Amino acid sequence: MSNLKLVELPVVEPEAVPCCPPVTSAALSEGDSVRMAAMFKALADPVRLRLFSRVASHEGGEACVCDIQDVGVSQPTVSHHLKKLREAGLLTSERRGTWVYYRVAPEALAAMAGLLSAAR
């Protein structure tokens, strides 16, 4: 097709973040714990966590499946894991031509890091 369009795939709503004060400074609310636990669950699988780090550290801050196929699992499995990370709000995605490109959602990363940072 000559008329190339940028298509944003659905992501978790922005109001899911920002969250929350450091765990060392305040107890999590029930609602926030559900949201944050879902994010940590997305990182609770070694292959998914590696893929997340591959996207995060890739040149330009984005990667397509074509860039990160060498983690020892099949391309459909890579795609499945990337989809899970996107559904959890940890990655955003954008289709450009043949490939879908993934980026870390900075506000999700900040929410997790902030929660786990030690309050001084």
The residues binding a copy of itself (CB under 8 A) are: 22-28, 30, 33-34, 36-38, 40-41, 43-50, 52-54, 56-57, 61, 72, 104, 106, 109-110, 112-113, 116-118
Query: Please, what is the minimum distance in Å from the beta carbon of residue 11 to a copy of itself?
Result: 18
Cα–Cα dist 20/53, whole Å: 22
Query: Please, what is the minimum distance in Å from the beta carbon of residue 86 to a copy of itself?
Result: 16
Instruction: Pull the structure tokens for residue 14.
Output: 């922005």
Query: Please, what is the minimum distance in Å from the beta carbon of residue 42 to a copy of itself?
Result: 8
For 69, how many CA atoms within 13 A lie in the half-sphere containing its CB? 6
For 88, how many CA atoms within 13 A lie in the half-sphere containing its CB? 26
Give the residue with the Cβ less far from a copy of itself, 46 or 98: 46
CA distance readout (Å), 82 to 36, 66, 116: 18, 12, 23
Give the residue with the Cβ less far from a copy of itself, 48 or 93: 48
